[in-house]
Amino acid sequence: MSRSNAHRLVVENLSVTYKVRTSLLQKRPLHALRGVSFNVGAAETLAIVGESGSGKSTILRAISGLTSYDHGDISIDGEPYKPANSNANAAEISLVFQNPNSSLNQRLTVGKIITDPLHSRKSDESQMEVLHDVLSLLKLDHDFINRYPFQLSGGQKQRVAIARALITNPRILLLDEPTSALDVANQDQVVQILLELKSERQVSSIFVTHDLPLAYKVAERVAVLYLGVVVETGTRDEISLQASHPYTQALLLSIPQRKIGKHAVSKKLHMVGEVPSPIDVAAGCVFRSRCPIAMAICSEVAPQPVQLSATQVVACHAVSA
């Protein structure tokens, strides 16, 4: 992962730790993210895939500024970036939340909701112009401007949320499981729109999801996250056809049979246990408690990322370049 200016967003060594109360007198550290590094190119979508407790939402919260991080470096287009909640910030990064019902102010009209980020930055006329632009982009009826959220369907509401995120023309769009609350057709529509956005607006996106096939549909590159650690990164073909980390392979094998046209490998997954608690994780590889090939070294030393190809990186003691 070279630090070239070709990358729009570079995140290096991001760590977020919370202190949580585990009993009446005790507070323990919860390692939500541990030294996470990744990058996103211009007009590219990176999918971050992980299950619960992986820290995938925390990444978005840290980059956008909702949560503070302990250490890490973020740079946008080569310039160091400090997340702060301000108008200027909105021009760089926007966030779309998972649930469109709670991310829109029920008391405002759609028009007001979408143009609120522009408040005090633009005149009313130019606001209307930009509003119409973004409504067309999201394939929303211009009549909606005077409607209220409760009059819209789930898919429409989510598109309004995306429209609001885009109105400031951000360079980077963060999406936190934007389709998991939608039904199948709406999900597909949002995906199509996101794909078009790349060419129309040249916006880079980070798409967080737990659904690997969805990530495959939406993104060119995928980063797999487990317990706050990026275990593997690669292009979508590399992740699906050349998966090298045991966890990535487990995710692939968990996909219901029918979704896979042709197995290159015929294995049935037998995985025990669940994702362990992110509180007080001991040294070594985070995945060792469920890994079928865990070795002695896995309990002692956390594996360092190894470059398997120009685009594929994996962190596992069993895989060498």
User: Among residues 48, 90, 138, 230, which is the contact residue for another protein, using CB under 8 A?
Assistant: 90
Please check whether residue 60 is in contact with residue 33, taking contact to mean a CB–CB distance below 8 angstroms: no
* Binding of residue 261 to another protein (CB under 8 A): yes
User: Among residues 268, 283, 296, 310, which is the contact residue for another protein, using CB under 8 A?
Assistant: 268
Of 3 and 215, nearer to another protein (C-beta) is: 215
* Binding of residue 292 to another protein (CB under 8 A): yes
* Binding of residue 210 to another protein (CB under 8 A): yes
Question: What are the C-alpha distances in Å from 208 to residues 132, 178, 283?
Answer: 28, 8, 27
* Binding of residue 66 to another protein (CB under 8 A): yes
Of 7-15, 40-48, 199-207, 285-293, which part binds another protein (CB under 8 A)? 285-293
* Binding of residue 303 to another protein (CB under 8 A): no
Q: Which residues of 208-228 are buried (b: 16+ CB within 10 A; e: fewer)?
A: bbebbebbbbbbbbbbbbbbb
> Least separation, in Å, of the C-beta of 230 and another protein?
16
Q: ∠281-247-298 over CA atoms, to 5°?
A: 50
74/171 Cα distance (integer angstroms): 14
> Least separation, in Å, of the C-beta of 207 and another protein?
12
The 229-235 sheet, strands edge to edge: 93-96, 172-176, 204-209, 45-50, 221-226, 229-235, 313-314, 306-307
252/266 Cα distance (integer angstroms): 12
> Least separation, in Å, of the C-beta of 161 and another protein?
8
The structure tokens 């119409």 sit at 132
49 closest CA partner among 183, 216, 193: 216
> Least separation, in Å, of the C-beta of 4 and another protein?
26
> Least separation, in Å, of the C-beta of 3 and another protein?
26
Helix H or strand E encompassing 247? helix 246-254
> Least separation, in Å, of the C-beta of 180 and another protein?
11
> Least separation, in Å, of the C-beta of 170 and another protein?
9
List phi, psi (to 5°) of 256. Answer: -55, 140
* Binding of residue 253 to another protein (CB under 8 A): yes
* Binding of residue 21 to another protein (CB under 8 A): no
* Binding of residue 64 to another protein (CB under 8 A): yes
173/94 Cα distance (integer angstroms): 5
* Binding of residue 104 to another protein (CB under 8 A): yes
* Binding of residue 223 to another protein (CB under 8 A): no
User: Among residues 17, 37, 235, 249, which is the contact residue for another protein, using CB under 8 A?
Assistant: 249
The structure tokens 């990176």 sit at 46
Of 13-21, 38-46, 69-77, 262-270, which part binds another protein (CB under 8 A)? 262-270
Q: What three-state secondary structure class fits 94?
A: strand
156-195 binders of another protein (CB under 8 A): 161, 164, 168, 183-185, 187-188, 191
* Binding of residue 27 to another protein (CB under 8 A): no
